[in-house]
Amino acid sequence: MSTSTLPVASTALALKRIHHIEFYVGNARQAAYYYRNAFGFSQVAYSGLETGRRAATSYVMSQGKATFVLTTPLDANHPAAEHIRRHGDGVCDIAFEVDDADAAWTLALERGARSAAEPHTVSDAHGEIRRASIHTYGDTVHSFISRRAYSGPFLPGFIAAPVAGEDAGIVRVDHCVGNVELGAMQTWADYYSNVLGFARYITFDDKDISTEYSALMSVVMSDDKHKIMFPINEPAEGRRKSQIQEYLEAYAGPGVQHIALQTGDALATVRRLRDNGVEFLRVPDDYYEALPARVGEIAESLDEIKSLGLLVDRDDDGYLLQVFTRPVQDRPTVFFEIIQRKGCRGFGKGNFKALFESIEAEQERRGNL
């Protein structure tokens, strides 16, 4: 593992935050029900036939500062139709809020990005926004959105459609992890550095992330404020198929592997999600026997941590609690991480071996190891 200094602000694109993450899904109405009842998101807005939109339907789900958009095509010619046919349910857009979408798009193209959508105005009775998009790995894009004092419930074309979920304590998106092909990790790390002004925050090699059978390599790219962090994984050579290679085959190419959702109380959040039916990976019980000596004193009950299947890791700044769901669709592709940071700025390096052995057990049950 290695770390490096972040860039000065002048090199970074002026990204204010992740505005939303859009998924293309086979049935947005059912997906909205799932994220509301399983993960505690509340539905806040809707766009579809009733709003005059003929090609697709979208539901906007929100919890804390995390916002998901779930979109289903109503027309076979909509880009979501081919995306779903090829990938199944998956992330199509990690959208950023910026002060000036035109300037962000222009600068990104000057730095080598490929345009997905030129800057354009979208408006309704509540005002207007400017929006543009660039391509990144696979069929994933980044949109730039500048709101211009827009006062609607989400974005133009959406109406308020509130349906409350039972909040599970999720406060924000902590990081989004992308899987790319063998040999492509450095290319995309350079892309985020050169185009968005991100810097290499942490690098893990196949010695850090390996088991008896498989390995992977990862680099974490971060903006200058540590508010937007994108780990990028690639498979490494091993005796059997790595989880990254399994994903690439199931997803038919690179894409977003998992989204880490930050909480202020991991025990309460995981307890609620388990009660809601969310399925989590379990590591072997001997992981917990070595835990006190490895991480030292923590505030939480070790018995409850073991009961809930949480993982713990520590760095020089503190410790973290984390746990990973099983894939949330039948293809072994997208899953979620629940993470609580108690000072720790890392990503759970001390948990990699136990976690990846648990993932390999799942792969073996699927016949994909």
Query: What's the Cα-to-Cα distance from 249 to each of 8, 86, 150, 181, rounded to whole Å?
Result: 38, 11, 41, 10
Least confident range of 2-16, 202-216, 243-257, 340-354: 2-16
The 10s digit of each residue's pLDDT in 279-321 is 999 888 888 988 898 899 999 999 999 999 999 999 999 999 9
The 10s digit of each residue's pLDDT in 139-171 is 999 999 999 889 999 999 999 999 999 999 999
Percentage helix, strand, coil, to 5, in the chain? Answer: 30, 35, 35
Quote the CA–CA distance of 72 and 84 in Å, as a whole number.
Answer: 9
Burial class of residue 330, CB neighbours in 10 A (0-12, 13-18, 19+): exposed
pTM of the full predicted structure?
Answer: 0.92
For residue 218, the model assigns a pLDDT of 84
Burial class of residue 114, CB neighbours in 10 A (0-12, 13-18, 19+): exposed
**Angle (deg, nearest 10), helices 352-366 and 243-251:** 50
pLDDT at 6 over 50: no
Contacts of 55 (CB under 8 A, 6+ apart): 73, 74, 75, 77, 78
Handedness of CA 19, 24, 28, 34 (dihedral sign): negative
Contacts of 27 (CB under 8 A, 6+ apart): 72
Residue 39 gets the label, from left (phi > 0), alpha (psi -120 to 50) or beta, of alpha
Residue 350 gets the label, from left (phi > 0), alpha (psi -120 to 50) or beta, of alpha
For residue 363, the model assigns a pLDDT of 74
Q: Does residue 216 contact residue 203 with C-beta atoms inside 8 Å?
A: no
Which domains occur in the chain, in start order? Answer: 7-163 (3.10.180.10), 170-366 (3.10.180.10)
What 3-state class would DSSP assign to 153? coil
